[in-house]
Amino acid sequence: MTDTMRAAVLRGWNDLRVEEVEIPRPGPGEVMVRVLACGLCGTDVKMVEGAFEARGWPPSLPFVMGHEWSGEVAELGPDLEASPLRPGVRIVAENHVGCSACPMCRRGRYNLCERAGSPGYRLYGHTAPGALAEYAVRPAVMLHPIPDTISPLAGALVNQGALTVHAVRRVALEPGSTVAVFGPGLLGLLSTAVARAAGASRVIVIGRGPRLELAAAMGADATVDYERTEPAAGIKELTGGRGVDVVLDCTGNPDVPAQALGAVRRGGAIALLGLTGGKPAVLDIERVTLDEIDVLGIRSSPNAYPAMIALLETGAVDVEPLLTHVYDLDHVTDALEALRSRAAIRPIVTL
């Protein structure tokens, strides 16, 4: 094996280049993975622009990008004799490594590690090297084997799919529920399919344009075009005036939580999966309090990868309609542009 590999390296703001860099080597408990596919998301776009500089994403330049990916085990580091991972095993990788010792980590909520930001805490692709490269090294505990029946491209969507599994669990979605999904981007479309797989009897997707047709392909049985119909009114009309049991807000638009509050039934739940970029939202607290609406934040995907892998493996969720824009590494900036221009829901780079 040569000592260098090709990687998408952020050299400066808006300066993403394909370069030869040193191949990382696995330390004790770590695994070197041959990366096969890596998606690009809105966070990557903002990181390339330098919008997260104050947050330390990335902590310094140059930086290897990429955090939604799949690959194949290439080599095990020391101390992994008992691991089920072996060279050739296909995997997907989590990005959060908690400290495993703080109260939140000990409760299994390692996405909320109380030592986030301290040395040793790593968020791969954000504060530690990402996977838009031929090889990536990760602690073995962050890797989940996937069967060969899940393609590398579909595997690259497990990260976001697992986030929607976490959301569906947080709202305690019951079989037979009605669900409204705001925002038919990748998260909204995966939320639609995962809610159906979790037993939702009816999923209404709110958005505009051609993405609403894709929502139908992912399991939505009704849509509301917000350019024509006020969303809460449209949802009420589709639910006999009662409102939905659950709202999944996948927009990051600060106006949507108020619309969600107008669309949910008494005692219902609203999950917020997006970030508003620091903009505040106005909420009618009397509605939240007197009707006991659960408003829940959703961050990352603790303990949710195995469930998402199972949904893909069994065919309960089919992501094929979402795999429309695939690029080789030399065209990584085209992939980024396809995301910026909204031409692609999720551009994926193959390696």
Q: What does the binding site for Zn ion look like in residue numbers (CB under 5 A)?
A: 41, 43, 98-99, 102, 105, 113, 115
Judge whether 249 and 255 are in contact, CB under 8 Å: no
Residue 73, judged by CB atoms within 10 A of its CB (0-12, 13-18, 19+), counts as buried
For 35, the token pair is 């990366």
What's the DSSP call for residue 319? -
C-beta of 67: minimal distance to Zn ion in Å? 6
Rounded to 5 degrees, φ, ψ at 243 are 90, 165
Q: Residue 10 or 113: which CB sits closer to Zn ion?
A: 113
Q: Residue 160 or 177: which CB sits closer to Zn ion?
A: 160
C-beta of 161: minimal distance to Zn ion in Å? 12
How distant is the alpha carbon of residue 161 from its chain centre?
A: 6
Rounded to 5 degrees, φ, ψ at 307 are -65, -40
Q: Residue 80 or 112: which CB sits closer to Zn ion?
A: 112
CA dihedral 46, 37, 35, 158 (to 10 degrees): 80
Angle at 283 between CA 279 and CA 285, to 5 degrees: 145
C-beta of 125: minimal distance to Zn ion in Å? 8
36 three-class SS: strand
C-beta of 104: minimal distance to Zn ion in Å? 6
Q: Residue 162 or 222: which CB sits closer to Zn ion?
A: 162
Q: Residue 115 or 331: which CB sits closer to Zn ion?
A: 115
Q: Residue 268 or 347: which CB sits closer to Zn ion?
A: 347
Rounded to 5 degrees, φ, ψ at 91 are -145, 160
CA atoms within 13 A on the CB side of 217: 13
In order, the DSSP letters of 68-125 are: EEEEEEEEE-TT-TT-S--TT-EEEE--EE--SSSHHHHTT-GGG-TTTTSTT-EEBT
Q: Residue 107 or 266: which CB sits closer to Zn ion?
A: 107
- For the chain, percent helix, then strand, then coil, each to nearest 5? 30, 30, 45
C-beta of 97: minimal distance to Zn ion in Å? 9
C-beta of 39: minimal distance to Zn ion in Å? 7
Q: Residue 183 or 268: which CB sits closer to Zn ion?
A: 183
Can you state the angle between helices 186-197 and 158-170, rounded to 10 degrees? 60
C-beta of 43: minimal distance to Zn ion in Å? 5
C-beta of 57: minimal distance to Zn ion in Å? 11
